[in-house]
Structure 1
Amino acid sequence: MHPDVLLSAIEHYSYCPRQCALIHIEQTYDENVYTIRGSLAHERVDSGDKTPNRGTITQRGLPLWSEEYGLQGKADVVEWHNDVPYPVEYKVGRRHGRHADVQLCAQAICLEEMFHVSVPRGAIYYGATRKRHEIIFDSELRAQTLQFVAAIREMLMNQDMLPPAAHDARCPNCSLINACLPEIVGQERRLRIMQAELYKPQAISEVE
């Protein structure tokens, strides 16, 4: 039986496959200022209520799933525009790349299966700018999202080795930097030397 992929894992994988593996395979999670801010920002949107917002029905913390693609998770907010769901993901910082786009697209794929309706677009709200960025779920984004889903599922099924560390500009702000150790495992030559020294047999005289 193939494991389901959590919607949150898709953004993690897009940002860094090793981070995704540490969280979803090793069950490793540490807090830093960025994750704490994110948790606080989600307290309201995860409440699960369904209330009108300026005439638009808004549902918070809606459980999502897709049997076809083996997905499960929860939407921050789903607005209903003329009976069409419009997912909205909340992020505490600024927009950096398209990592959140694939997670939002996966939410749309779930909503389409659940409600039998096309979901062409959604939005990401960035707390730092207090603005929405609308995302169009075109064929390219959908294909990339499903590629990530397949890669994550393969990673979950074959847990022999974690993906390599990136050891780049993403690392200093990552809450898992101490668990990941990118400065060590991200340098292949240094890692090979350390592994060789670790398993190097010692002479009896050296041990004594």
Structure 2
Amino acid sequence: MIPDVSAEEYLLLSGIQHMAFCERQWALIHVEQVWAENVRTVEGKHLHERADDPFFDESRKTVRIVRSMPVVSRQLALRGVADVVEFHYSKTMIDGETCQLKDRDGWWCPLPVEYKRGKPKKDDRDAVQLCAQAVALEEMLGVTITSGCLFYGETKRREAVEFTPALRQHTLELSQKMHQFVRDGITPKAKKGKRCAQCSLVDDCQPYWMLRHRPVAAYLARMCSLEADE
């Protein structure tokens, strides 16, 4: 639980993927309100435009598909929109796993599905975003969700994600750090890495310049030392 946060101070759930990717990138976007487009962000936007139709509600015999579903979590103090939530029909109630839906008979098991451009990544930035959506859905529906899916535009395949205790804890810690940065007004220093080449904010971030730049305190100490030697 994030302490002392009002509903008006809830942060964007989608930002947790930025936080997992790079703390400085998250702060530039969500604290300093900096944003830039690159090929990856444009492709991702187009992919989500096909998934995020708030008026689309598809029902089949055993599956109800809800797109662009608003979600909110008190535990994480995050709010946002889930790309797709599938509700799978169950003839019987499964304690802690199924819920009832308005104007629908029977019991339903929710499954969050997040759409991403490209292919599966080596890190867990996509998984934590999906996990945060699951936590929100659990609070809203009174269920426990054990897994979800990530759909990648390049591979055209779903990847299952298990919401393990470790992933849930990491998701909570990231949300706590996000709120801490907002409270303190902090933008972390740049840390150069391979991920910088993938970032749309590399020109605003200036990681290479910042890493070459010496701290002011060190500069002043060196100048004072030179004056003392003279």
- Taking structure 2 as the reference length, the TM-score comes to 0.80
Contact 2:62/2:88 (<8 A) preserved: no
Q: Secondary structure at the match of 2:68?
A: strand
- Structure 1's consecutive aligned runs of 4 or more residues displaced over 2 angstroms after TM superposition are 52-55, 190-193
Q: 2:206 aligns with which of 181, 188, 191?
A: 181
Q: d(CA) in 2 for partners of 1:53 and 1:101? A: 27
Of 42-51 and 11-20, deviating more is 42-51
Q: 1:27 aligns with which of 30, 33, 38?
A: 33
Name the residue aligned to 1:167: 192
**How far does the alpha carbon of each residue in 1:48-73 deviate from its partner, in whole angstroms, 9 at most, with x for none?**
11113674211110000012331100
Contact 1:124/1:132 (<8 A) preserved: yes
**How far does the alpha carbon of each residue in 1:74-107 deviate from its partner, in whole angstroms, 9 at most, with x for none?**
0010001231110001111111121110110010
Q: Secondary structure at the match of 1:170?
A: helix
Name the residue aligned to 2:51: 45
| 1:86 has 2:86 as partner | no
Contact 1:84/1:118 (<8 A) preserved: no
Contact 1:5/1:70 (<8 A) preserved: yes
Name the residue aligned to 1:110: 136
Contact 1:78/1:88 (<8 A) preserved: yes
Of 16-25 and 67-76, deviating more is 67-76
Q: What number of residue pairs does the alignment pair up?
A: 195
Q: Percent identity?
A: 37
Distance apart, 1:185 and its partner CA: 1.3
Structure with greater Cα Rg: 2
Structure 1 unaligned spans of 5+? 201-208
Name the residue aligned to 1:158: 184
**How far does the alpha carbon of each residue in 1:95-140 deviate from its partner, in whole angstroms, 9 at most, with x for none?**
1121110110010000000011111110001111111110011111
Q: Structure 1's 125 and 53: CA in aligned 2 closer, same or farther, altered over 3 A?
A: farther
Q: Secondary structure at the match of 1:165?
A: coil
Q: Structure 1's 163 and 106: CA in aligned 2 closer, same or farther, altered over 3 A?
A: same
